[in-house]
């Protein structure tokens, strides 16, 4: 049986963060990463670029020799089928066993796939979460002219916009009453939808796909409203949920995400978690939930790896953020964008042209979230203010109306507090 000092299940950004966290404190011990994927350390944020023609190597953000330089052994294209936590070992597909001293689970999320009548045995039905999904879509491009995207969240709107730019007729079906409901407020959703409609993308809101028509090849989809949309391909982009398959039938605490403490430790000694699979602290409200965001996964990996190597660094929590830079007018949001109750103050500015919109969400004078459209240069200041929990009552108007937020106008002690927050692991949170 192979045995490594550190074993990491996954080769994603959380795994990369973990490797770098370990190597800050331990340069000698053996590290092994295991991944069912065949492409390591790639950026999922750039999958749309791959569909548009970029090479697979373009997606790799640490370089082809990264793992070798870091002294890491890799098993690509290998799936872990079972965890034997009592004996500190993993079972791989094919029967091979791998032992560990410390284990990191960064198995990510899995796309939610709705049960739709007629979906069985149909070709050209895709997800859009991993490289293999993007590769399948790219290979199939010559085979379809019209496509239906199910879901108008970030993933759905990105793939819709990408395929629209590749001259495909794109229709988006969304169960909710607006697009990007988790990322934007109602007005900014309206602006985003109008920007995409101007490009020729069609939207069917307050509706859902009830049946995919056709035999082996798709001829279209039937909606609950009775409408029929002709198409040759369907992409499901309803959302991603933490992948708990490997944790089933183990004593690991998993409830809509792997439970970890502030040191990224699970309830089992020497077993850690990081990335989309875990529930981490959301600093906007202090609650633990899945935060499937690339930068947060890396930060969690840094903390987990450092602690696996003997450090004692807590994870400060993460701030949910969304950036829609693929539209003609950039949109960025962070934190709470739709207040859950009347205790929040909502400030909005709209130039009525769709080129500059901003909303600020405050509670007790402190910034809890924002949406900014068109003028995103000040987003770093706004996110810093959320994290610092500073009372912004005296400057809220300038934050709302100024396209370029002037940091120099803030008191020096505010600037220092906002932009020098650095935890002991060495990253700015």
Closest-CA residue to 35 (of 87, 90, 113, 85): 90
User: Do both 93 and 190 map to the same domain?
Assistant: no
Q: Is 317 contained in some domain?
A: no
Q: Is 424 contained in some domain?
A: no
Give the N- to C-terminal CA distance of the chain in Å, as an integer. 39
pLDDT, tens only, 109-166: 989 888 999 999 899 999 999 999 999 999 999 999 999 999 999 999 999 999 999 9
Q: How far apart are CA 352 and CA 65, in angstroms?
A: 50
User: Do both 12 and 29 map to the same domain?
Assistant: yes
Q: Which two tokens stand for residue 104?
A: 């990191």
pLDDT of residue 375: 84
pLDDT of residue 405: 78
Q: Judging by beta carbons within 10 Å of its beta carbon (0-12, 13-18, 19+), is residue 120 exposed, middle or buried?
A: exposed
User: Do both 339 and 390 map to the same domain?
Assistant: yes
Q: What is the CA radius of gyration of the chain?
A: 23
Number of domains in the chain: 3
Q: Is 324 contained in some domain?
A: no
pLDDT of residue 251: 97
Task: Calculate ∠ Cα 141-144-149, nearest 5°.
Answer: 90
pLDDT, tens only, 164-222: 999 999 999 999 999 999 999 999 999 999 999 999 999 999 999 999 999 899 999 99
User: Do both 164 and 231 map to the same domain?
Assistant: yes
User: Do both 247 and 98 map to the same domain?
Assistant: yes
User: Do both 234 and 259 map to the same domain?
Assistant: no
Q: Is 315 contained in some domain?
A: no
Query: What is the torsional sign of CA 105, 111, 114, 116?
Result: negative
What count of other Cβ atoms lies within 10 Å of the Cβ of residue 104? Answer: 32
Domain end, chosen from 201, 217, 238, is at 238
DSSP codes joined into one string, 40-90: -SB-GGGHHHHHTT--GGGGBSS-TTHHHHTTEEEEET--EEEEEGGGTEE
Task: Calculate ∠ Cα 185-187-190, nearest 5°.
Answer: 105
Residues of the chain with pLDDT under 50: 424, 428-429
User: Do both 91 and 153 map to the same domain?
Assistant: no
184: domain CATH number is 3.50.50.60
Q: Is 398 contained in some domain?
A: yes
Tell me the β-bridge partners of 74. 33
Task: Calculate ∠ Cα 385-289-89, nearest 5°.
Answer: 125
* Beta-strand pair 258-259/146-150: unpaired
Domain end, chosen from 238, 257, 281, is at 238
User: Do both 233 and 378 map to the same domain?
Assistant: no
pLDDT of residue 6: 99
pTM for the full predicted model: 0.91
Q: At what angle do helices 379-388 and 412-419 cross, to 10 degrees?
A: 90
User: Do both 224 and 248 map to the same domain?
Assistant: no
pLDDT of residue 355: 84
The DSSP secondary-structure symbol of 351 reads -
Q: Is 19 contained in some domain?
A: yes
User: Do both 234 and 125 map to the same domain?
Assistant: yes
pLDDT of residue 429: 46
Owning domain of residue 197: 113-238
Q: Is 147 contained in some domain?
A: yes
User: Do both 104 and 120 map to the same domain?
Assistant: no
pLDDT of residue 428: 46
Task: Calculate ∠ Cα 37-154-381, nearest 5°.
Answer: 105
User: Do both 221 and 133 map to the same domain?
Assistant: yes
Q: Is 78 contained in some domain?
A: yes
Domain end, chosen from 219, 238, 257, is at 238
């Amino acid at each position: 049986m192979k045995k490594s000092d550190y074993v990491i299940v996954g080769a994603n950004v959380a795994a990369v963060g973990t490797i770098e966290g370990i190597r800050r404190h331990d340069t000698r011990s053996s590290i092994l990463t295991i991944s069912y994927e065949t492409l390591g350390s790639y950026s999922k944020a750039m999958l749309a670029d791959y569909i548009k023609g970029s090479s697979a190597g373009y997606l790799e953000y640490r370089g082809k020799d990264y793992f070798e330089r870091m002294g890491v052994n890799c098993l690509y294209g290998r799936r872990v089928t079972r965890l034997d936590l009592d004996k500190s070992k993993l079972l791989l597909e094919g029967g091979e066993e791998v032992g560990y001293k410390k284990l990191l689970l960064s198995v990510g999320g899995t796309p939610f796939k709705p049960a739709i009548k007629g979906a069985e045995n149909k070709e050209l039905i895709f997800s859009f979460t991993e490289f293999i999904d993007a590769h399948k879509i790219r290979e199939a491009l010559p085979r379809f002219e019209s496509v239906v995207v199910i879901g108008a969240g970030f993933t759905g709107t990105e793939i819709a916009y990408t395929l629209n730019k590749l001259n495909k007729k794109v229709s988006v079906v969304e169960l909710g009453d607006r697009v990007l409901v988790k990322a934007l407020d109602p007005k900014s959703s309206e602006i985003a939808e109008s920007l995409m409609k101007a490009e020729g993308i069609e939207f069917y809101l307050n509706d859902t796909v009830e049946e995919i028509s056709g035999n082996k090849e798709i001829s279209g989809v039937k909606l609950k409203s009775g409408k029929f949309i002709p198409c040759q391909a369907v992409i499901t982009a309803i959302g991603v949920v933490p992948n708990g398959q490997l944790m089933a039938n183990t004593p690991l605490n998993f409830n809509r995400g792997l439970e970890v403490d502030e040191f990224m430790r699970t309830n089992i000694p020497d077993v850690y978690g990081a990335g989309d699979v875990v529930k981490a602290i959301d600093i906007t409200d202090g609650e633990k939930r899945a935060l499937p965001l690339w930068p947060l996964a890396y930060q969690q990996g840094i903390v987990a790896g450092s602690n696996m190597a003997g450090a004692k660094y807590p994870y400060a929590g993460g701030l949910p953020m969304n950036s829609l830079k693929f539209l003609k007018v950039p949109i960025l949001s962070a934190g709470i964008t739709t207040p859950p109750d009347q205790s929040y103050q909502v400030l909005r500015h709209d130039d009525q042209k769709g080129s500059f919109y901003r909303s600020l969400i405050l509670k007790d004078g402190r910034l809890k979230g924002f949406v900014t459209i068109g003028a995103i240069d000040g987003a770093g200041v706004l996110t810093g203010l959320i994290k610092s929990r500073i009372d912004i009552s005296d400057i809220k108007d300038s934050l709302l109306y100024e396209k370029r937020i002037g940091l120099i106008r803030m008191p020096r002690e505010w600037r220092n507090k906002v932009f020098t927050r650095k935890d002991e692991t060495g990253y700015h949170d």
